[in-house]
Amino acid sequence: MKTETIKYLYSDYQFEITIDEKGCCFCPVCGIKTENENWRPYDENGLPTYDICECGFEYGFDDSGVPPYEKSWDRYRKSWLNEELEFGDSKTKSLEKKIEQLKNIGIFI
- What are the per-10-residue average pLDDT scores of the chain (109 residues)? 94 96 96 95 96 96 94 97 91 95 96
State the residue range of the domain holding 69: 1-109
Query: Cβ-count burial of 27 within 10 angstroms (0-12 exposed, 13-18 middle, 19+ buried)?
Result: buried
- As for how many domains the chain has, the answer is 1
Q: Which pLDDT does position 47 carry in this prediction?
A: 96
Q: Which pLDDT does position 63 carry in this prediction?
A: 96
pTM (two decimals) = 0.94
In angstroms, how far is the first alpha carbon of the chain from the final one? Answer: 18
CB 101 within 8 A of CB 15: no
Q: Which pLDDT does position 61 carry in this prediction?
A: 97
Q: Which pLDDT does position 104 carry in this prediction?
A: 97
Which residues are bridge partners to 3 per DSSP? Answer: 18
Q: Which pLDDT does position 1 carry in this prediction?
A: 80
CB 71 within 8 A of CB 47: no
For residue 31, give every residue at least 6 positions away whose Cβ sits within 8 Å of its Cβ, in sequence order, or none. Answer: 18, 101, 102, 103, 104, 105, 107
Q: Which pLDDT does position 28 carry in this prediction?
A: 98
